[in-house]
Chains A and B, each alone.
Chain A
């Protein structure tokens, strides 16, 4: 079974600073997809960024970027120039093909003004 581990239950960052959220996963597959989802207090699950395992280039979306280390099975999320609106629960997720998406336990990010 594939498992996803987020080792940081809570993180804090000063507004305008940079923070990195960690994620590791366990799989024997070579072809899969990785995601970061954001869940604000509204409870909505919002896709932040995604990465195909066969792509060596790290994905970026504006202030959000990932550090994908396939051999180490690591998929960290970097948030640059943190904003108050970034405060939320962040979930790392893994999926292979049409199998179900597997989630980490989440990291709660607090942004201090």
Chain B
């Protein structure tokens, strides 16, 4: 198990407020990802990181920013939350080894913007 923890697990916030979701990993993986899950869309990539201070945009990055100041922490920030950002957010790490490869996901954060 890659030891990925997400916090908080649930959050309700008001429209227009800033929100930060945290992803923490314990195994020094280089690549980390933020996805959102919505019915009918599966999981879609928001942002990803390939190292400390190295990040890039994904498919649905508008309205989101990320930061990675330490290998183990990857933060997702909604600068001004909107109702369209109500979703379940997943953090993931990638791992690649002989016969053992893929993504491991955190347990997700359910965010509701009211």
Contacts and interface: CB of A to CB of B under 8 A. Distances in A.
Contacts of A101: 33, 43, 45, 92, 94, 103
Interface stretch (A11-19, A43-51, A65-73, A79-87): A43-51
B44 interface: yes
Interface of B: 31, 33, 40-45, 48, 50, 58, 88, 90, 92, 94, 96, 101-105, 107-108, 110
Interface of A: 4, 6, 9, 33, 35, 42-45, 47, 50, 91, 93, 95, 98, 100-101, 103-106
Given A35-B102, A44-B105, A101-B43, 17 more contacts: A42-B107, A43-B110, A44-B107, A44-B108, A45-B92, A45-B105, A91-B42, A91-B43, A95-B103, A98-B94, A100-B33, A101-B33, A101-B45, A101-B92, A105-B41, A105-B42, A106-B42
9 contacts: A33-B101, A33-B102, A35-B103, A45-B92, A98-B31, A100-B48, A101-B33, A101-B45, A106-B42
